[in-house]
């Protein structure tokens, strides 16, 4: 295992997202938004990868992934 610390971010499966907006409600940093009523998208600048949205998403279509940046 690498000791290097990677940033973790919420990634939404935009094909399966139902745009209910519950992730927006539970995000403590307002780092996720529903774009045009079609899908949710996390703001990589604000997201700290806490995983709250992933846990609460009714459709379970949000994953916390390690980002390269």
Partner 1 sequence: MKKRWYDYLWIASALYLILSFFNILFAWLGLLCFFIPLGIALLGGNKGYCNRYCGRGQLFSLLGGRFGLSRKKDVPRWMKSKVFRYGFLVFFFAMFFSMLWSTWLVFSGAQDLKQAVTLLWTFKLPWNWAYHGTILHHGVAQFAFGFYSVMLTSTVLGLITMIVFKPRSWCVYCPMGTMTQLICKAKNRKEA
Query: Contacting partner 1 (CB under 8 A), which of 36, 45, 68, 69?
Result: 36
**Residue 56 engages partner 1 in binding (rule: CB under 8 A):** yes
Measure the CA–CA gap between 34 and 57, rounded to whole angstroms: 13
Report, in Å, the least distance between residue 61 CB and partner 1: 7
Phi, psi of 21 (to 5 degrees): 85, 10
**Residue 20 engages partner 1 in binding (rule: CB under 8 A):** yes
Specify the length of the chain in residues.
Answer: 69
Measure the CA–CA gap between 29 and 36, rounded to whole angstroms: 20
**Residue 22 engages partner 1 in binding (rule: CB under 8 A):** yes
- Give the residue with the Cβ less far from partner 1, 32 or 49: 32
């Amino acid at each position: 295992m690498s000791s290097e610390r990677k940033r973790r971010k919420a990634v939404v499966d935009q094909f399966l997202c139902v745009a209910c907006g519950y992730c927006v409600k539970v995000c403590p940093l307002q780092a996720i938004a529903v774009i045009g009523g079609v899908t949710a998208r996390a703001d990589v600048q604000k997201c700290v990868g806490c995983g709250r949205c992933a846990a609460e998403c009714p459709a379970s279509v949000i994953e916390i992934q390690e980002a390269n940046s």
